[in-house]
Amino acid sequence: MSNILSIPVRDNAKLKTLLDFVDEDVELQTLWRCANVLAVDRLGYNDHGPVHVKIVANGALKMLRLLVEKGVEPSIKADYEMSVEDAEVVVVLASIMHDLGMAFVRETHALYSAPLAMDILRRCLPLVYSPEEATIVSSEIVHAIISHHAPNMPLTVEAGIVKIADALDMEKGRARVPYEAGRMDIHSVSAIAIEKLKIEEGEERPITIRIEMTNPAGIYQVDNLLGAKIKGSGIESYIHVEANIKEGDKTRVVRFDL
């Protein structure tokens, strides 16, 4: 795990080669920086740069692997007879590039992320794929990028994973920028309540997202933000969310199944 995003490639040689490319690509890393300047410095939101990308990519990859272990077939395998390793490439690269359009604008950033990603994908995918394979993988990645943000809906397992993973970046420290800047709305106050988020193997459903919070206000994050992402993901039936609310010496458990 030597890449800058600390992504566990395991024995996926294609993913390792592509992450080596990411480690060295100045354009991609500069776009992360530009996205962060717009989000944090100019709009007062929490960061959309390399830290966010790292959280989303690792979360997406973990969810994909849990689903595969439970027998869920990735769409790139079902529709194109490609491999689970190729599905891992799709979710990781889509996660890495999903917010590039934030360098320009927030509201329609997913649409602007797509052409930026396509340019980078034209340079990196030929390192490990034939022209036909690269076109398929690129199409799947761009679909996941565009559909991570409403109103576009994910139509693949991989795109649904990326959509949900984007909402998992909600731990307490990630809300400090807007909160300390005086942005006292429900988004910042509720985000401060989230202490820890874990992605685990589920029992009744393949994945359990377990969230620890110190204030019931954190339910807003879970219900309105994460819940909205899960509800429009197409993989709702695979996800169980459990919120543990610490209130003094007691812990109250709230469960969400969509």
Average pLDDT over residues 51-78: 97
pLDDT score for 124: 99
Residue 43 to residue 241: CA distance in whole angstroms: 30
Percent of the chain with pLDDT over 70: 92
Q: Taking all residues of the chain, what is their mean pLDDT, rounded to a whole number?
A: 90
* Digit-coded pLDDT (tens) for 16-51: 999 999 999 999 999 999 998 988 778 877 777 889
**Fold of domain 13-166:** Hypothetical protein af1432 (1.10.3210)
Q: Which long-range contacts (CB under 8 A, 24 or more apart) does 73-82 make?
A: 73/157, 74/156, 74/157, 74/158, 75/140, 75/155, 75/156, 75/157, 75/158, 75/159, 76/136, 76/137, 76/140, 76/156, 76/158, 79/156, 80/136, 82/133, 82/136, 82/137
Residue 185 has pLDDT above 80, yes or no: no
pLDDT score for 146: 95
DSSP 12-23: -HHHHHHHHHHH
Model confidence at 102, in pLDDT bands (50, 70, 90)? confident
Residue 177 has pLDDT above 50, yes or no: no
Give φ, ψ of 255 to 5 degrees: -110, 140
Any idea where the domains of the chain sit in the sequence? Answer: 13-166, 172-256
Residue 10 has pLDDT above 60, yes or no: yes
Residue 86 to residue 188: CA distance in whole angstroms: 37
Residue 193 has pLDDT above 90, yes or no: no
Q: What is the sign, positive or negative, of the torsion defined by CA atoms of 63, 67, 68, 69?
A: positive
pLDDT score for 166: 92
Residue 111 to residue 198: CA distance in whole angstroms: 30
* Digit-coded pLDDT (tens) for 203-251: 999 999 999 998 888 888 788 888 989 998 999 999 999 999 987 778 8
Pick from 64-68, 92-96, 198-202, 217-221: least confident:
217-221
pLDDT score for 155: 98
pLDDT score for 4: 92
